[in-house]
Structure 1
Amino acid sequence: MKRHFLLLWLVLCASISLAVAQTRAVTGVVKGSDGETLPGVTVLLKGTTNGASTGIDGGYTLNVPTDSKSATLRFSFIGYVSQEVAVGDKTAINVTLVSDTQSLNDVVVIGYQAVQRRDVTGAVSSVSAQQIKDIPVNSAAEALTGRLAGVQLTSSDGTPGNLNVQVRVRGGGSVTQDNSPLYVVDGIQIENALSVIAPQDIQSVDVLKDASATAIYGARGANGVIIITTKKGIEGRTVVSYNGFAGFRKITKTLGVLGPDDFLNYQWERSRIVGA
């Protein structure tokens, strides 16, 4: 019995040492363009789920396969441009991430004016026309589903072709009252605007979620404000485009039910048996 345990222990140690020998550690420090270290940067071995995050000092340690010469590390962080670096035979890789100026220059429509995202201090989520133009959906609400942080869109009915969608911004604030947000389309208030506007007509959708962003709308904006900007004509040559899709829905299996005559006969037989 002892010999079996000893043999099992030797096999386990050999497998562990073999696994350790097949990987090697890659270390480094991630900094921003200003030279400051960046904590919380995601370091991922491309094509796998093997990853790590940088610490407070910007340092990281990641094990990569020893025999893989084509291994690539991907560095990503919010507000910075993602960067990929080939590992090769290197054991130390230091990276400098550059700020993503494109996302900071995006224009966001708030209650007062259109400003750059870098100047927005309130909680605002945005979706542009490029993100929803090619999605085959029946309404704009379906196109926005899952694309706005803090915004929940659920269909109130499973009927095919039903356009009534329930929209909640950061959950409901009342038990007895309506929790629907305020819709403003090109400066005009429209009830349930996402159900009446075609997705192809939308230029951008901005959702104001916190008190500082919705203050201009008063109590009506307590449940959030959805600002929709539609496309407008621009100077240039005439362009005609068409987008359309078709489909059908059919119940795969139906239940057999009684006809009128069969139902009457059933009721007559039932009343005769029970004596009613």
Structure 2
Amino acid sequence: MATNFYFFDTEGNDDESYNKALHFAEKLIKASNGLRRIIYLVPSKNSTGWLDRLYGVQTVKKMFNGVNLSGATVKIETIRTYTNSYNDPSDVVICCGLNSEEIFKVQDYRHVDTIIAIPWQKENTDSWIKTAKAKKINEDLSIDKEFISTAYPEPTEIVKKAFKELTSAINTSTGINHPSDNARAKTYVRALHKYEPELNCDIVCSYLINELGWKVSHSDDIRKLIDTLNNGKYFKGGEKTGLQIHYKRWKNEADD
């Protein structure tokens, strides 16, 4: 599961950032015994224009099978072909023009150690940068220590109490997949949505991931529930009555 997050403050066809990302990844591999591969992760097999211009079409074709560049194994994978494994963290993944949702998916992979994001459109990567508190890479490949990611604020104390309680009551290894855990989560989200002035899914998910240790994929299940209610829609399951009892309990705990 990835624990190191970086990004380039760019967008569009910035070929130089893709080249610098490779050099930055090489530096990380040389400084660590555990890292072995550099993955260029692209949306599809046809989305390699940046790499074609850097390395040539023929080399890029070979990179789909893995090649050695500057002493490191470099491989191109697509969102569809790159899947999770049970290997120890060994991959540095350069996300080429991916959006936040696509990057979040990779973040949970066991064999991924580091993620380097190169945005296509900044706003499409903003959620991941804020949630992951990613570090900005400078032009000279140093880390911009003065840059502080505009991380999401913490939720209210009541929301914290609710999700701490949920976290302690469910099987965190499976998230809310079990029927009873799923029903409890839906009840809690309903209660918070009904009585909190605002329930922001980005703020909640950032808190679940960074403070309560949830996997991104599991926090995304909560995101979907919140989004459903915020969009004026409904979901089946969970309690629909007695929601105020839960909310008053969290409020009393928060006030203590």
Q: Where is the helix percentage greater, Structure 1 or Structure 2?
A: 2
Using the size of structure 2 for normalisation, the TM-score is 0.25
Task: Say which structure, 1 or 2, has more relative contact order (CA 8 Å, 6+ apart).
Answer: 2
